[in-house]
A and B are shown apart, each in its own frame.
Chain A
Amino acid sequence: MIDTNRESDRSGAPLLQVRGVRKAYRSGGGMLEVLRGVDFEVAPAGFVSVIGQSGSGKSTLLHLMGLLDAPDSGEVHLAGNRIDNLSSARRDRLRNTDIGMVFQAYHLLPELSALENVLAPLLVRFSIAEWFRHKGEARRRAEALLDRFGLRGRLHHKPRQLSGGEMQRVAIARALVGQPRLLLADEPTGNLDEASGAGILDTLCELNHTDGLSIVLVTHDQSIARRADRIVRLVAGRVENA
C-alpha cells in the first residue's frame, strides 16, 4: 500500500532544513545569482510563508526544496536526511512519495480527467502490475479527496471544463493523493479571483490544522502570507527575518 508506516516525526527536529543554499543561473553573458546562502527550516506540521518580490528567488528556493533543481552549494535535509545530493532515481522517488507540489498555473495534464489527474502521482509510482493491484484503493482515495474539496460531480471532466478554483483544488488533491509529508505551494492563488483564492487558502489552512500537513507557501502577497504560522522574507537571495 501507499507508504503510510512512515517513521513518526521526531519532535523538535525540523522536517525540512535548508542550509546555506546558493544557486546561480546563466543569464545572458554572466551568471545571475538568485540565492546567496539561504538558511531556512520547516517544523513538522508547520506552515511557513516565503514572501518576496518577483526575482527574489522564492520560486527557485521552492524548486530546490521540491528537488526539481539542485543547489550550487548548500544542503537540503528532509527529516534529518540530506536529499539534494541523491541520485536522480531516488530524488524522483522522493518527489513522488514525500513531497506534493501546487503551482500558480495549476499544471494539470490536459488529456486526463480530474480524477486521472489526481491519480497521476500514483500512476507514476506504480508499475503496470502494481497498478492493477492498487487500482481500487487508489481510486477510492482520489475520489475521497475530490469529494472533500467539493468536486464530486467533476470527476470525469477535463481540466478545460473546470473553473480556475476547481482546477487548483484538483491540483491540491493531486498533491495530497500520495500522502506527502510536505506540501510546496507556489503562488497557488496567483491566477484566481479573490473568492476562489480565499477558498484555496482556507483549504490549505485546514489541511495544516486538521491533518498536520507541513506546508511551504510562496507568495508575493503580504495578506496571503499572513495566513501562515511563520513568514520568511526573501530579499535579493537572502532571508530577512520578519
Chain B
Amino acid sequence: MYTLLLCWRYLRTRWIALASVISVTLGVATMIVVNAVMAGFAHEMQSRIHGILSDIVFESHSLSGFQDPQWHMEEILRAGGDDIEGMTPTVAVPAMLNFQVRGQWVTRQIMLIGIDETTHARVSDFGRYLQHPDNRRQLSFGLRDGGYDTIDSQTEDQQVATRPALEGAGWPHRRMRVERERAWRQRQAELQGSEQAGGPSGGPVRPVDHQVDAVLADTTPAVTTAAAPPEEFAPTSEAHPPNAPLDPFRAAKPEEQGRVFDPSREQFTGIVPGIGLASFRDSSGIDRFLVLPGDDVKITFPTAGTPPKAVTDTYTIVDFYESKMSEYDSNFVFVPIEQLEKARGMIDPQTGLPSVNSIQIKLRPGANLEAVRDRLRKAFPADMYAVSSWKDKQGPLLSAVDMEMAVLNILLFMIVAVAGFGILAIFFMIVVEKTRDIGILKSLGASSSGVAGIFLGYGLFLGLVGAGAGLALGLGITWNINRIRVLVEWCTGERVFDPSIYYFFRIPTIVDAWTVAWIIAGAVGIAVAASVLPALRAARLHPVEALRHD
C-alpha cells in the first residue's frame, strides 16, 4: 500500500521527473502521428496501385498471347473455385503514342491495353477514375458530348475547378477544331494558289505551312480529301515524313474506305489514355492539357505476326483516367479489345477465336490473394503463363514502403529510448535524494522488493502519464493535421503539402489501434525498464547507511 501512496506522492511532488516524461510524450506523439500519416499514405498508395490492377493477373509470356480466352477463363474458374468473382480478358502491348502539340509531334512510350468495356469495370476500379460522370457509371468508347469534370472527382473536400480545359472537351471541342482546321485549310489553299502565281519561291512558305499543320490536328488528311485535291496535300506530308504513312482510313476504318469521313460528326476508335500522358500540373495547381477528349492521336504498335510488324492507327481520345499513380497514369492507354485484336491480327481466321495475352481476375472480398494465386500457378504450366497478384506487380515498391516505415519506427523508438535514459538519470538522482527515506521505510519494516516497487511503480506511473499525454497529443495532431497544415502554410507562406506533387489535397491519415497500442506499450515498457536499475539500487541500500545519509 505504501508503494502506491509514495508513488503517488512522488509523482505529485517531483515535477522534475515530469520533465523527463515530456520526451516520452513527444516521442509517443511523434510516433503516433508519423505512423498515422505513413499508414495513410501507404493505404492511399496501395489503393492506387490496386485501383487499376485487378487482384490477380493471369498472362502469357508472349506478346501474341494465347488463344481462346473463354476456355482459359473456365479453367481458371475451375482452379480458383468460389474465390473468383469476375474475369475479363485484356491484351497489352507496348506501343508508341504520337500527337501534335503546337506543331511539335510529341511521342510517348506507352502500354496499350485492350479491354472489354462491359466486363472490365467489374474487375478493377478503372471506371471510378474516369473524367466523365457517365463513363464512371458505364465506360463507353464513344466520344461524349461535353460534360467532363473540371473538378477532380476524387478530391472530397476542396472543390476547386483545377481542370478548366475539360470544360469544352468532347464533341464541342472536336467540332470547333475541325471548323478551325477547315478555315486554315482554305486560307492555305488561297496562299498556295497565290504562291504558285507569284513564282517558285517555295522557301518562305514552309514555315507558314508548318504552322498550319501545327494548329491543325493530325486528322488533316481526312479533311483534305474533302477540301482540297490530294496533289496539293502532298508537300505537307513530305514536310513531316512520319505523318506520311498514317492514313487513318487504311488502318482504323477499312470498311469506310471510299466514303468521306467527316471528323466533325464521326470519330475514330475511342481510347482512354492516362491523364499523365496528356496533361501536367502547373505550379498554381491547374492541370494543363496537351490534348483533350475529341482530339485524334496516332498509335504505333506491333502486330501478333512473326516477326511482329509495326502498324499505326488513328484513335480519338474519349476520356482520361486518373488512378493518381503516376506510373500508370503516364503509361497506360486503354482501347476496346476487339479493335486491338483485329488490328494486331489476333483473331484466328479459321476458328474466329480471338487471342488475348492476359486475363484479369477479381476475387471475392476476403479471399486469400496469395492462396488463389498459388492455386492458379499450380494449375497452369509456369513456362507458358505467369500468374501474379497486384502486390507482386508492385512488390519492390510496397516492400520499400514497408521498409521505410520500419526504419522510421525504429528511429522514432530511439527517441523514446533516449527518453528512457533521461528517466534513468533522473531516477538515480531521486534515489540518491531519497536515500534516507528508503532507510526510514526499511526501519519501518519495508522489504527490499517493496522499496524497489516504489520506483518501478513510479516509473510505470510516469510512463503511463507520458504515454497518455503523448496519445492525446498524437491523436489531436493526427485528427487535425490538415488544419495544422493550413495554419503552418498561413504562418510561413510556404506550401507544406503541394498537391501538384502528391496528387491529393489533404494529408491522409489512418490511426491503427494496434499500432497505437504497441507504441504505448513500448513507451511504458521503456519507462519501467529505465526505472529497474535505480529501483534495484534503492532495494540494495543498506538501511543503516541509508539512515545515516544526509
Contacts and interface: CB of A to CB of B under 8 A. Distances in A.
A101 B450 contact: no
Interface in A159-184: 174, 178
- Name the residue among B13, B436, B437, B443 with the largest chain A CB count within 10 angstroms: B443
Nearest to B543: A68
A124 B2 contact: yes
A96 interface: yes
Interface stretch (B3-11, B74-82, B243-251, B310-318): B3-11
Contact of B443 (A88, A107, A110, A126): A107
Contact of A92 (B1, B440, B447, B544): B447
B514 to A, nearest CB: 31
Interface residues of A, number: 33
Interface string B425-440: 0000000000011011
Interface in B497-550: 542-544, 547
A125 interface: yes
Contacts of A242: none
A207 interface: no
B398 to A, nearest CB: 50
A127 interface: yes
Contacts of B174: none
B441 interface: yes
Contacts of A96: 444-446
A174 B446 CA distance: 14
Contacts of A195: none
Contact of B544 (A69, A94, A120, A178): A69
A103 interface: yes
A24 B448 CA distance: 24
Interface in A121-158: 121, 123-128, 130-131
Contacts of A95: 442-445
Contacts of B13: 111
A110 B442 CA distance: 16
A124 B441 contact: yes
A124 B450 CA distance: 9
Contact of A68 (B6, B447, B547): B547
B441 to A, nearest CB: 7
Nearest to A93: B445
Given A63-B544, A111-B10, A111-B13, A116 B444 contact: no
A189 B325 CA distance: 84
Contacts of B446: 92, 96, 124
Given A68-B544, A92-B447, A97-B445, A123 B440 contact: no
A130 B4 CA distance: 14
Contacts of A110: 437
Interface in B444-458: 444-448, 450
B15 to A, nearest CB: 13
A109 interface: yes
Interface of B: 1-2, 4-6, 9-10, 13, 436-437, 439-448, 450, 542-544, 547
Given A95-B443, A96-B444, A116-B5, 5 more contacts: A68-B443, A92-B447, A103-B443, A121-B445, A126-B1
The 8 closest A-B pairs by CB, nearest first: A96-B445, A123-B2, A111-B9, A131-B1, A95-B445, A68-B543, A92-B447, A107-B440
